[in-house]
Chains A and B, each alone.
Chain A
Amino acid sequence: GNSVTQMEGPVTLSEEAFLTINCTYTATGYPSLFWYVQYPGEGLQLLLKATKADDKGSNKGFEATYRKETTSFHLEKGSVQVSDSAVYFCALVNNDMRFGAGTRLTVKP
């Protein structure tokens, strides 16, 4: 079946540090891949997505590349800010939608 595995958190970084949150998936066929962000007390917001292999999704300085050979969709940002503190969810759509467990990021000034 379809599943998503994310690196466990929490992740704590200093402002302007480089961020990587790992995400790998299991699916048959060609799923679409998503990153959602959840700020405290709020619902999820779509951050970026990629619908086919080698696509790169990007938004607000965040990037993720759909790597079919490694079944991965790692989230990266070159310089994080305090306002990036949130929980990040990797997800896939392949007939149904599956979410990872979420990774909590805290950025300190």
Chain B
Amino acid sequence: DGGITQSPKYLFRKEGQNVTLSCEQNLNHDAMYWYRQDPGQGLRLIYYSQIVNDFQKGDIAEGYSVSREKKESFPLTVTSAQKNPTAFYLCASSTGQQVIETQYFGPGTRLLVL
């Protein structure tokens, strides 16, 4: 079955620690996205990538980093510079072939700070 997987489902971070969230897709999509979801605020775009080895900052990129070495994978690292990392993180992908596209979402990772 084609789809997007995110792991782990829950992740705990200690103060000063970097943590990496995994996102993998087997939909053969060119474009991938990371969003942060906080209660009552909808989704906010952290980073996006339209092609391998290229990515762009979204609205709230500070304290986060990404890489796109493979088409299937778009890991997100939450660095120690992100002072309020507790949130639900969603990864999405789209074909990248059209101006107006549907994004397909993974199940999410909930990050909690110890």
List chain A positions with a Cβ less than 8 A from chain B. 4, 32, 34, 36, 41-46, 49, 51, 89, 93, 96-97, 99-102
Contact = CB atoms under 8 A, between A and B. Distances in A.
Contact of A43 (B40, B90, B101): B90
Interface stretch (B14-22, B61-69, B104-112): B104-112
Q: Which 8 A-B pairs have the closest CB atoms?
A: A43-B105, A99-B42, A44-B105, A99-B43, A101-B42, A32-B100, A43-B107, A43-B108
B45 A43 contact: no
Contacts, number: 41
Do most interface residues of chain A lie in helix, strand or loop, or is the interface mixed?
Answer: strand
A59 B104 CA distance: 16
B26 interface: no
Contacts of B100: 32, 51, 93
Contact-size category for B:
10 to 19
Nearest to B59: A96
Interface of B: 4, 6, 40-43, 45, 90, 92, 100-108
Contacts of B102: 34, 46, 49
A49 B103 CA distance: 11
A73 to B, nearest CB: 14
A96 B45 contact: yes
A44 B90 contact: yes
A36 B102 CA distance: 10
A83 B92 CA distance: 24
B88 to A, nearest CB: 9
Contacts of A46: 102-104
A37 to B, nearest CB: 11
B106 A102 contact: no
A100 to B, nearest CB: 6
Most buried by B among A43, A89, A100: A43
B30 to A, nearest CB: 16
